[in-house]
Amino acid sequence: MDNLLSSSLQVVLEIKEGTGFSFLTSPLIVVAALNGSKLESAEMRPAGSPMFDTQLLWQTDKKYLRSIIESSLIIPD
């Protein structure tokens, strides 16, 4: 991370598919947060193994990302 020229970074969470969701009867949405910014996937119909095939993307800076990596803590929402 030290060799990157810009202080701005993109963090990408790729969501491929889920398993074990056959008990659901309502649509499913994946919500994820980074640095107080929440993003969500498109709504999926209930299925045992929903295929999301989507990416959630955040803009952040090296300082914040480094603090998460060095602290080895759960990323706060």
Residue 2 located in a structural domain: no
pLDDT tens for residues 1-57? 555 567 888 889 999 999 999 999 999 999 998 878 899 999 999 999 999 999 999
Residue 54 located in a structural domain: yes
Query: Which pLDDT score is estimated for 77?
Result: 56
From first CA to last CA, the distance across the chain in angstroms is 23
Per 3-state DSSP, what percentage of the chain is helix, strand, and coil (rounded to 5)?
Answer: 15, 40, 45
Residue 45 located in a structural domain: yes
**Enclosing domain of residue 54:** 8-71
Domain count, the chain: 1
More confident of the two residues 72 and 39: 39
Residue 25 located in a structural domain: yes
Residue 35 located in a structural domain: yes
Query: Which pLDDT score is estimated for 34?
Result: 83
pTM: 0.67
Residue 24 located in a structural domain: yes
Residue 1 located in a structural domain: no
